[in-house]
Amino acid sequence: MGPPNKDSIRRAAAAARRAQGDKERLSRQITDRLQSMPQYAAAGCVLWYVHVRDEVRTEQALQETLRGARQSGKRIVVPYCVGEDLHLFDLRGWDDLSPGAFGILEPRPESRGRADRSVAATELDLIVVPGVAFDPDGGRLGHGRGFYDRLLAGVRAETVLVGVAFECQIVPRVPLDDHDVSMDWVVTEKRLLGCQGGPRVRAGDEHW
pLDDT category of residue 113 using cuts at 50, 70 and 90: confident
Residue 104 has a pLDDT of 80
Residue 85 host element (H or E)? strand 85-91
pLDDT tens for each residue of 56-106 = 999 999 999 999 887 888 999 999 988 888 899 999 999 999 998 767 889
pLDDT category of residue 112 using cuts at 50, 70 and 90: confident
Cα–Cα distance for residue pair 71/111, rounded to 1 Å: 24
Q: Please give the backbone phi and psi of residue 118, each rounded to the nearest 5 degrees, phi first.
A: -85, 140
The letter for the amino acid at 87 is H
Q: Does the predicted model carry a pTM greater than 0.85?
A: yes
Residue 102 has a pLDDT of 67
pLDDT tens for each residue of 180-202 = 899 999 999 999 999 965 444 44
At CA 79, angle to CA 58 and CA 20, rounded to 5?
Answer: 35
Considering the segment(s) 6-189 as one domain, its CATH architecture is: 3-Layer(aba) Sandwich (3.40)
Percent of the chain with pLDDT over 90: 71
